[in-house]
Amino acid sequence: MNFQINSTSDLKLTLSLIKQYIKNNISDTILMNELLILVSEIIYNIRKFSQEGTVDISIKEDYFFIKAKDNGKGFAKKTEQSILEGYSTANSLGLGLPSIIRICDELEIITSNTGTYIECGKKLKC
Amino acid sequence: MWEKIEMLDFKYCIKPFISSDTCGDSAFFSKCKDSYLLFIGDLGGHSNKELSIISSEIKKSLEKNKEKNIYELFELINNLNGVKEYGLAFFLGRVNEKIEILQYIAIGNIKLNLLRKKNIKNLKKQDGFLGFQIPENIENNLLKLKNNDKILICTDGVDSFKDKIISFLSLHSLEESVKYISDKYSLKKDDALVSILEFKQKETFNNIEIPTFKREEIHFNTISETAYENHVNTEVSLKELDKSYFFSSIDNSLNSREKLSQILNYLNFDSLKYVKVKTIILEVLSLSTNKFDIYISTEVLQIKTLIKEVFVKKLTPIIGLEKHFLDKEKNLLIINYPLSNKIETNSSKHNKLKEMINLGLDKNSYKMYKIDEEKNRLLTKQSKLAALGEMIGAIAHQWRQPLNELAIRIQKIKYAHKNNKINDSYIKEFLKENMMTIEFMSNTIDDFRNFFKNEKQKSVFNVRTAIEHVIDIQTCQLNEHNIKITIEGDDFDIYGLKNEFMQVILNLINNSKDAFFKNKIINPMIKIDIRENKISLEDNAGGINKKDISRVFEPYFTTKNTDENTGIGLYMSKIIIEDNMNGELKIENKNNGIEITILLGDIQ
Nearest CA in chain B to A108: B143
* Beta bridge partners of residue A106, listed in sequence order: A121
Contact residues, chain A, for B141 at CB < 8 Å: 108-111
Q: What CA–CA distance (Å, rounded) separates B134 from B288?
A: 55
What is the nearest CA distance from B220 to chain A, expressed in angstroms? 12
Spatial CA neighbour of B303 closest among B317, B316, B321, B284? B284
Q: Give the ipTM.
A: 0.91
Residue of B nearest to A107 (CA): B144
Which 3-state string (H, E, C) describes B171-200?
Answer: HCCHHHHHHHHHHHHECCCCCEEEEEEEEE
Which sign, positive or negative, has the C-alpha torsion A88, A90, A95, A96?
Answer: negative
| Residues of B with Cβ-Cβ distance to A78 under 8 angstroms | 69, 71
- Across the interface, whether the CB atoms of B142 and A109 are under 8 A apart is answered yes
Q: What is the pLDDT of residue B213?
A: 66
pLDDT average, residue stretch A43-56 = 84
Instruction: Give the residue-averaged pLDDT of B318-335.
Output: 77
pLDDT at B104: 96
Q: What is the pLDDT of residue A76?
A: 87
More confident residue, A92 or B459: B459
Interface test with A, best of B100, B119, B142 (most A CBs within 10 A): B142
pLDDT in tens, B275-304: 888 888 888 887 777 888 888 888 888 888
Establish if A76 touches chain B: CB-CB under 8 angstroms: yes
Across the strands, what pairs with A55?
A3, A68
CA pseudo-torsion sign A34, A40, A45, A50: positive
Residue contact B69–A80, C-beta within 8 A = yes
φ, ψ of residue B94 to 5 degrees: the values are: -145, 140
How does strand B101-107 pair with strand B246-250? unpaired
| Chain B neighbors of A109, CB-CB under 8 A | 141-143
Instruction: Give yes or no for B582 touching A (CB within 8 A).
Output: no
Write a three-state SS string for A31-85. HHHHHHHHHHHHHHHHHHHCCEEEEEEEEECCEEEEEEEECCCCCHHHHHHHCCE
Q: Give residue-wise pLDDT tens across range B4-16.
A: 777 899 999 998 8
Distance CA B193, CA B51 (A): 14
Name which of A13, A40, A80 to mutate to probe chain B: the one with the most chain B Cβ atoms within 10 A of its Cβ: A80
Whole-angstrom CA distances from B461 to B455, B495, B498, B578 are 13, 6, 7, 18
- Coarse DSSP helix, strand, coil percentages of chain B, rounded to the nearest 5 percent: 40, 25, 30
Least confident of A50-54, B41-45, B133-137, B238-242: B238-242
pTM of the model: 0.50
Q: What is the pLDDT of residue B223?
A: 47
Residues of B in contact with A6 (CB under 8 A): none
Contact yes or no for B463/B491 (Cβ under 8 A) = yes
- Label the pairing between strands B149-154 and B192-205: antiparallel
CA distance B55 to chain A (A): 24
Contacting residues of A for B103, CB less than 8 Å apart: 79-80, 83
The string of pLDDT tens digits covering residues B389-440 is: 777 776 776 687 778 878 888 888 888 889 998 899 999 988 888 888 788 7
